[in-house]
A and B are shown apart, each in its own frame.
Chain A
């Protein structure tokens, strides 16, 4: 069925569903009229280069794919079909050939433009590839929707980092990542910029030996509302996953982290864990965490989750102040260190340095808005 028709045939999501509990679909929808599918969405500008500005090698291509892309079946149907419908003329495929090994990260820069826009991106990564992919979203669109459907081939080692840096507006992101046999994936999310972010990130491990690390560094300032839902499905035996999510929340902002770790019957030897850390920096900030766990297999290495919320640690502040930091600098350093602990795990040293340089302005805005 046409995605627009499918979307219209669906009921409006219920707030009892944790996915929509804190960001009702009505507020995420571009017009607020959830029965409407606007038809004036523009195509974002995209560039694909190496991090040092060089051309990407031959094995890496992005094409505007006119054919229907394969739909995943494990994402939320409402947001997926909606973006699919409004991006029907903006479907792209990023292909990476088997055995592609790159020393420089590949940067896919997406400029959302100045009007509502959307994009449906299929990422096909072949077998035994080793490289880093950065998807950077910038621009001034009031609303931008992005689907990323990924297939990561057998034995590949991939660092896949998405940086959300729109200047304002709403970002709706749907990721559906299939992890192949013995593939190792680090999936990083850095979120800052857009006023409202709703991200639904789902990872499927239905082949033996998949290894996944999901990392988040969330900088939420002013009146931002940043809502990430992360689902990790262990379907096959001997799969491993860790989620480590750090949110720093200042101003009047609110961050939400909902996680679902699902271990299916038969996923023998699964080893899964998730941790949400929230740093609250102002009186009006709010952080919510729901790390859910559903385990239907008893022969597991272990499954667990945890959350921790708190202010900046007074003892650490004292330690830094005793060594000459003024109180503001000490606090800023601790906030940066808190976010950096996941940022530094997302990829290589080159990538880390690029991310740290890129996020300086956002970090400043966070630390100045903390007392507002």
Chain B
């Protein structure tokens, strides 16, 4: 991709600036067992973690690339050109004034410190491979809530991490979970004690600044019995003419009666491969919700999953995807009903425009022993022009006769009647289209914290500019 092509692809992308690269440690591009061991040594990790990383690297090395999805885009990833570790600050600070100025300015421009003061319980800000800022409200800390970056979590709560790390997403799950396990750095570690409800969301913000960078954060959230938490993450990167790779792993554990909501709005620039594995295990009467917005990136392959392990557990996945020029949003959801009386709901909405491609890929299974399960899957897609494309690939495997399962999907264009109705009331065609698109995404935006929803609506209005004529 040339610089001009990149500019064209990115259009009005507002987070596409980059700072001069002032790294304190930068590994040479390319991946080997030595790189994996060096990352582990640099972080002074326990032996078991080093061994897990090495095993994961070997698995990554041996495992072929996926034989499904957008194989032509996937084949363009050059793993030898990617930098697997880059540190830009010496430590993780808990005061924005101590964060290096250029990095602080970046997060100021993204509005993170401001949001923290107004409506968040805690914030982690990750820049390249490491968290540069981290804080949590004192009252939550006193209640025993642990909210740390993943590296600090491993240092300070090794037993907890050892127990749960890789228990939901083993490194052998897929090629990219193996890659993440081998070279992970940063991410969040959260433990919410029994019965504690974290009222305001906690937020993590991930920023890639350097060229050809790989960001491999690892997030582990454990909500103990009867607790609840809402985790929000956002992601941006500068626009470059060369590609970067974001390959995260997120593991959620909702113990009996717990509730975890995980909201993401990824707005990576159009040169980022976003290949992420997100999965949760829901125990008895617990609830896991993924609220997942995919606006940016070149290729996203992301299928948030929930394993409904305990009786009465519930899962919801609400996702939206916007695919513009040169983008392929291959997103979806997976739900496994392993226990009786479990319920799930998937709502997926996508818009394709300017030659973009949106795909829903989903899997729902009901095991033979899971009695009286109910599940509902709805996928709606809008195609805004003749060059764009929308796909739906849902899979349903039902092995229990008492299950009630429904799936429906539709692909359509924006209705002329709706456009006419709005235009006859004084809106220009462009405004009318933006309103219809915002209305189409409304089931998603109403699940987001208000500040995020407002931003998302503005973002979509920008993306819709120039759609007419």
Contact = CB atoms under 8 A, between A and B. Distances in A.
B402 interface: yes
A290 B405 contact: no
B406 A306 contact: yes
Contact of A303 (B388, B396, B398, B412): B412
Residue among A280, A293, A294, A296 facing the most chain B CB atoms (10 A cut-off): A293
Contacts of B162: none
Interface stretch (B273-281, B379-387, B435-443): B379-387
B410 interface: yes
B408 interface: yes
Nearest to A312: B401
B394 A307 contact: yes
Contacts, number: 115
Interface in A287-308: 287-300, 302-308
B411 A303 contact: yes
A288 B406 CA distance: 12
A353 B431 CA distance: 57
B77 interface: no
A325 B148 CA distance: 65
A307 B396 CA distance: 8
A283 interface: yes
A280 B394 contact: no
Contact of B413 (A14, A298, A309): A298
Contacts of B400: 280, 283
Contacts of A292: 391-394
A299 B391 contact: no
A282 B400 CA distance: 8
B393 A290 contact: yes
B407 interface: yes
Nearest to B392: A293
A284 interface: yes
Interface in A327-347: none
A298 B388 contact: yes
A280 B373 CA distance: 13
Nearest to A303: B411
Contact of A300 (B66, B409, B413): B413
B401 A281 contact: yes
A338 to B, nearest CB: 14
Given A298-B388, A306-B406, A293 B396 contact: no
29 contacts: A14-B67, A16-B67, A18-B393, A280-B398, A281-B401, A284-B368, A286-B368, A286-B397, A290-B393, A293-B390, A293-B391, A293-B409, A295-B389, A296-B389, A298-B385, A299-B386, A303-B410, A303-B411, A303-B412, A304-B408, A305-B392, A305-B407, A306-B409, A307-B394, A307-B405, A307-B407, A308-B407, A309-B403, A311-B402
Interface of B: 66-68, 368, 381, 383-413
Q: Closest 7 interchain pairs by CB?
A: A280-B401, A298-B383, A304-B410, A306-B408, A293-B392, A309-B405, A286-B399
